[in-house]
Amino acid sequence: MKNFCVNTKNYEGKRVIFTQAQREKKWSKHPELRDDEFIKRVQGAIENPSFIYDDLAVKGRLVYYRYEYSTNGRAVYAKVVLNSGKTKLLYGQDNY
C-alpha cells in the first residue's frame, strides 16, 4: 500500500489521495509541501473549501480555496489544485 499524506473525502464525498511520492515530486517547486502542518491545511481545504473554481487552462482540474485569515485587510487562502478522475484499476478492489 502506498504511503498517503492525504487520504480524505472532498465536499461531495469523493475520495482524494495525495501520496508521499507525489509530495516529494512536487516539493522542489512548492517547498511548503515539506511542512507537515501545511499538509494539514491542504487536507482542510479539500474537506471544507471556501470556494472552488474550474481550471480553465486544464480540463478536469479544479482549484480549491479555503480562507485562512486576513492581514492588513487582505484575505489569505490555502490553494489546492486537484486533477479529477482515476486511473484504471488493474488489480484488487477499491475499498475507499
**CA distances from residue 42 to 8, 21, 36, 94 in whole angstroms, order as listed:** 11, 16, 10, 23
What domain count does the chain have? 1
Bridge-based pairing of strands 61-71 and 74-83 is antiparallel
Question: Is 94 contained in some domain?
Answer: no
Question: Is 55 contained in some domain?
Answer: yes
Question: Is 44 contained in some domain?
Answer: yes
Which residue range(s) make up the domain with 25? 4-83
Helix (H, G, I), strand (E, B) or coil at 89: coil
92 pLDDT more than 70 = no
95 pLDDT more than 90 = no
Question: Is 89 contained in some domain?
Answer: no
Question: Is 96 contained in some domain?
Answer: no
Question: Is 90 contained in some domain?
Answer: no
Read off the pLDDT of residues 29-77 as tens digits, 9 standing for 90 and up. 999 999 999 999 999 999 999 999 999 888 889 999 999 999 999 999 9
